[in-house]
Structure 1
């Protein structure tokens, strides 16, 4: 059974720098810092509705562009 995030759930985001042939990627973590999504920074999140982010794709893309590497922060869109 998959755990689906609701819009009111607190989530965190972190951008991780890739090395050599490994691309940069994004982690979304829940309020307990459990990994709930992992995707390449240069590709959009698949099924954003699963994480309560439907309709916020453009805002998420803008955030990812400006997000510093290695800094965990609350996901606020």
Structure 2
């Protein structure tokens, strides 16, 4: 699974994309509201780990998420 942090502009907030190994979009959520999206993917128990990666990830870069 891959993670991408997208910088928002003006009134558009920052977003996060979670993508599978074929780079298909699995989830797209606001940085400050990950709860429902991660729950739908069955990753609610990994939320702290994912959010820690998001915090350290520069905008526009892709990182491999080992889950």
Q: Does TM, scored on the shorter chain, surpass 0.5? A: yes
* Residue segments in structure 1 that go unaligned for 5+ positions in a row: 1-10
Provide the alpha-carbon RMSD of the alignment. Answer: 1.6
Higher helix fraction (1 or 2) = 2
Cα deviation for residue 50 of structure 1 reads: 3.9
Q: Of the candidates 16, 24, 30, which is equivalent to residue 14 of structure 2?
A: 24
Distance apart, 1:45 and its partner CA? 3.5
TM superposition shift of 1:17 = 0.2
**4+ residue runs over 3 A deviation:** none
Q: State how far apart, in whole Å, the 2-side matches of 1:47 and 1:16 are.
A: 16
- Number of aligned residue pairs: give it: 67
1:35 is aligned to 2:9? no
Normalised by the length of structure 2, the TM-score is 0.84
Larger Rg computed on CA atoms: 1
Whole-Å Cα distance in 1 between the matches of residues 26 and 11 of structure 2? 24
Determine helix, strand or coil for the equivalent of 1:68. coil
* Larger strand proportion of the pair: 2
Structure 2 runs not aligned, ≥5 long: none
